[in-house]
Each structure stands twice: as C-alpha cells, then as structure tokens.
Amino acid sequence: MRELMDVCAADPRPQGVRDAAIIALLYGTGMRKSESVDIDLDQVDFEARSLQVLGKGNRQLIKYAPPWAFEKLQAWLDLRRQDLPAGAEDDPFLFNRIRRGSHITRARITKHAIYYIARQRGAQVGVKIMPHDFRRAFITRVIEEHDLSIAQKLAHHANIQTTAIYDRRDDNERRRAVDRFDY
C-alpha cells in the first residue's frame, strides 16, 4: 500500500493526487468500485470520517475510513477546487475524469477509469492489481486484526460465509492462535 501511495505522490500531475485518494478510499473503507464512482460530496462527513454509499442491492450503507484516507481525499478536493473558474460551484461528485494534458474535467469518473487506475498504479509497483483487490485486502486485514464478525459488518455482507471466503490465514496461524490458550 505504501508503495502505491509513493507512486501516486511521485506523479506531479493531478492524477497522482486523485488516484491516491481513490486508492485510499477503496483500501481504507473496503468499498466497491461502483460505490466509489457513485459517491457524491454531500455523502461525505469529514468530522465523523464516514461516507454514505449506495451499496449492492440499493442499500444505503455507512463506510468509515481511517484519518490518512480522509487526508488523501481532502488533498484531492483542495487541488480540484484550485482549478475551478471564479464563482463556479464545486462538482457534486467526489472524483473527476482527467483528460490527457492533466485537464480536470467537470465529469464524474467511470468504473472503467477506476479499473484502469488500479491496473496502471499496480504495474508501476510491479503488481497486477484489480479494484476488488483493495476490498479483499481491507476485509482480510480486518479479519486478521479483529474478527470475522466485525469484518462482516464493515464489508456489509448479509451472510458471514461470504466474509469467511476472504479469510486467508493459513493453518500455522490457526495453530499459533490455539497455542496461546492457557488453562
């Protein structure tokens, strides 16, 4: 993750700042690609570090993000607002399309663009990345650091078996967990 953030930070174009914010939200919240595309600015609560998203099955969901993800998002919004014409209102959505030549458009980013960003930034660090890999990494990390139940709630899975699919811990780790039990 740090390598991806470093690659984005090294990119002097607006894409670097925007891509860092997108990756930070995908990884930091576990949101789906479509959720990141559809989210609007008025669905973001910077104080509570939460985002209201329309999830799978048209369910309204609350996603929480770590402070560093909101810092990346704020950096993107600050940069985007610098380029607004005098007197123009900010765009209602979070992420804009950026044309060649680093021109920030007034158009919402697409799902295909999120896919392209993940692939491109992954290639820059030598890893094949798909947008869902950020969600997978988020859920796996929550399982490792907390438990399956919290991971299910944060992933907004209706069935805990869906969340269990993301449990990548091996037998040795399970054995070590049992070895810690005292009598």
132, 146, 169, 176: which one is catalytic?
132
What is the rounded CA–CA span in Å between residue 100 and residue 176?
Answer: 51
18, 32, 63, 121: which one is catalytic?
32
What is the rounded CA–CA span in Å between residue 143 and residue 41?
Answer: 30
Show the DSSP H helices in the chain as ranges: 2-10, 14-29, 33-38, 67-82, 111-124, 131-145, 148-155, 160-164, 171-179
> For this structure, is 72 an active site residue?
no
> For this structure, is 156 an active site residue?
no
Contact (Cβ atoms closer than 8 angstroms) between residue 94 and residue 53? no
What is the rounded CA–CA span in Å between residue 34 and residue 13?
Answer: 24
Task: Answer positive or negative: Cα dihedral of 32, 37, 38, 43.
Answer: positive
Show the DSSP H helices in 30-147 as ranges: 33-38, 67-82, 111-124, 131-145
Q: Is the pLDDT of residue 137 over 70?
A: yes
18, 33, 135, 156: which one is catalytic?
135
72, 121, 156, 166: which one is catalytic?
166
Taking the model in full, what pTM does it have? Answer: 0.90
111, 136, 141, 157: which one is catalytic?
157
13, 56, 168, 176: which one is catalytic?
56
- pLDDT at residue 76 in the model: 98
> For this structure, is 166 an active site residue?
yes
> For this structure, is 32 an active site residue?
yes
User: For 10-50, how does the pLDDT look when each residue is reduced to its tens digit (9 = 90+)?
Assistant: 999 999 999 999 999 999 999 999 999 999 999 999 999 99
Q: Is the pLDDT of residue 169 over 90?
A: no
What structural domains does the chain harbor? 2-130 (1.10.443.10)
Q: Is the pLDDT of residue 153 over 90?
A: yes
> For this structure, is 56 an active site residue?
yes
Contact (Cβ atoms closer than 8 angstroms) between residue 54 and residue 104? no
Packed helices 2-10 and 111-124: angle between N→C axes, nearest 10 degrees: 100
Contact (Cβ atoms closer than 8 angstroms) between residue 114 and residue 61? no
Q: Is the pLDDT of residue 59 over 70?
A: yes
